[in-house]
Amino acid sequence: MMDRRTLLAGMGGTAAAAAVADQGTPPSAAPLAAAPFAPARPDLGFLRTEALVHAERAQAVMAREQFDAFIVTQPANVFYLGNHWPNLDRMGFRHSVFVVYPRDPKRPVALVMTGFLHYYRYADDVDLPNRIVFPYTSPVGAAAASAGSGAGGGEPEAAPTRLHRVLDETLLTPREKHRRSVAESAEPPSASAERALLKAVRHLGLEKGRIAIDDPVVERLLVGQGFAGSFAPAEDSLRRIRLVKSPPEIRLMRIAAQNNVDAALATVGAVRAAGSTGALRNRYFAEVAARGNQAVFIVIDGSSSEIADAPIRDGMAFSIDCVSSFLHYHGDFARTIFVGEPHPLMRRGTTAIHTAWQDIRSQLRAGMRFADVQRIGRESMKRQGADFTVSFTPHSVGLHHTDHPRPSVAEGRSVEGLMLEKDMILSVDCPILDTGMGGTCHLEDLMLIGEHGATPIHHVPPNIFVV
């Protein structure tokens, strides 16, 4: 009989639990060392000078799909191609920034954004070569009343970019001097976003190009000004590029994933003190924030409801599936918690998915297909004689929780046909999808795919916790 009340030292100052490796034999309770709580943020200066986008892969995809450029405005895509997350989109103003990313590496990457935010925010964040900014403000004087967005009518006069008023030049900080210098380096402002976008397209010689776009607004703005090129959807192409992570992305993913795991472990330590699933959800959100991540969701006992609040009682067994992000890159981690002694079916279930995941993990490598991952998991369950329904769903993780191209029946594409590639970060969801077994169970880690194997990008705790 296991010791159900082994105290876990540390773990956020709460009475917590014992972590137990479920290997199919009677386990002995082993204390889980508390993850060190370090509220200090890591050095992120590399993001100023290292592009997130995998440039060589982007050029290869654009060449294969015959795109002359991407033009994107959705925040995740702007961040990926421009290292800048649009401020105004956080406040509900859509289409505030556009990135024009040409296939030709000799041409600069162009960004279209408000002049003020170029000065106020972008100047602090980005110092990449081969970038050119086309700011926009608003029309001035009589031009404001008559300005249109059509092809004719000429260019209305644009208001100058607004900077903070200087009260005493001698008191300007080096940071402020840098921001003002960056603002001065931009192209002359345009009176509107669409005019600035057209200027950027013309500057890059893309007036008749084939452009991949992530939002219909791009086509509407350019066609309304006489653009003569053609358009294609960009989202799946961008996801194909993002399957393989650049070195800066891998650094961010490691931070995101470890913060997420540490927050999850601290949450496990608070299960009994929380007393209900709603309070436990709040605890996870707080632990995530304390580590610099932003909570996305937590699935507790098979429910992703954000209003559900059920009591936690002795004898319960339930899973947690924890997702949070750090600078928009995601961690994804799942485990099973026993509140005391579980039903024997839960023991058998957690043992089975743990064994199957070890079988999958030992064989992951570049060149496998998603379907191979699922097959290995199902074959493992069959060998074990484990009659449980498990999806073994692989998915790429990055700027989104599910960051791979979508299946398309019309184009003959399926998720199962996707191939694992070197420097992809993969999750394999291993929840049991049956009910009436005395609880819910899940198991999930993030793996960095290599040529001949795969390694976890975070510390890997035991597969179950007993509290």
Judged by average pLDDT, the poorest of 221-235, 293-307, 386-400, 413-427 is 413-427
Tell whether the model's pLDDT for residue 26 goes beyond 50: no
Measure the CA–CA gap between 228 and 225, rounded to whole angstroms.
9
Tell whether the model's pLDDT for residue 121 goes beyond 50: yes
Q: Please, which pLDDT band fits residue 5 given cuts at 50, 70 and 90?
A: very low
Phi, psi (rounded to 5 degrees) for 410: -60, -35
**Which residue segments constitute the domains of the chain, with CATH numbers given?**
11-41+246-466 (3.90.230.10), 51-242 (3.40.350.10)
Tell whether the model's pLDDT for residue 18 goes beyond 70: no
pLDDT of residue 12: 38
For 76-108, what is each residue's pLDDT tens digit? Answer: 999 999 999 999 999 999 999 999 999 999 999
Over range 423-446, report the average pLDDT: 97
Tell whether the model's pLDDT for residue 341 goes beyond 60: yes
Tell whether the model's pLDDT for residue 4 goes beyond 50: no
pLDDT of residue 39: 65
Who contacts 125 (Cβ-Cβ below 8 Å, separation ≥6)?
Answer: 47, 48, 83, 84
Task: Return the beta strands (E) in 156-224 as ranges.
Answer: 210-213
Over range 379-405, report the average pLDDT: 96
pLDDT of residue 160: 96
* pTM across the whole model: 0.89
pLDDT of residue 40: 77
pLDDT of residue 143: 55
Mean pLDDT computed over every residue of the chain: 90
Tell whether the model's pLDDT for residue 412 goes beyond 90: no
Closest CA to 267 of 3, 8, 9, 12: 12
pLDDT of residue 15: 33
Is residue 446 within 8 Å of residue 461, measured between CB atoms? no
For 418-434, what is each residue's pLDDT tens digit? Answer: 999 999 999 999 999 99
Tell whether the model's pLDDT for residue 6 goes beyond 80: no
Secondary structure element (H or E) that encloses residue 18, with its range: strand 18-20
For 233-288, what is each residue's pLDDT tens digit? Answer: 999 999 999 999 999 999 999 999 999 999 999 999 999 999 999 999 999 999 99
| Residue 209: both structure tokens together | 């190009």
Task: Return the beta strands (E) in 221-282 as ranges.
Answer: 230-233
Tell whether the model's pLDDT for residue 138 goes beyond 90: yes
Tell whether the model's pLDDT for residue 53 goes beyond 60: yes
**219-225: long-range pairs with CB below 8 Å, 24+:** 221/149, 221/193, 221/194, 221/197, 222/194, 222/197, 222/198, 224/149, 224/150, 224/151, 224/194, 225/149, 225/150, 225/151, 225/194, 225/195, 225/198
pLDDT of residue 335: 98
Tell whether the model's pLDDT for residue 22 goes beyond 50: no
Measure the CA–CA gap between 58 and 425, rounded to whole angstroms.
18
pLDDT of residue 408: 57
pLDDT of residue 38: 59
Is residue 21 within 8 Å of residue 30, measured between CB atoms? yes
Share of the chain above pLDDT 70, in %: 87
Tell whether the model's pLDDT for residue 409 goes beyond 80: no
For 313-322, what is each residue's pLDDT tens digit? Answer: 999 999 999 9
pLDDT of residue 390: 97
Tell whether the model's pLDDT for residue 23 goes beyond 70: no
pLDDT of residue 424: 97
Q: Please, which pLDDT band fits residue 352 given cuts at 50, 70 and 90?
A: very high
Tell whether the model's pLDDT for residue 183 goes beyond 70: yes
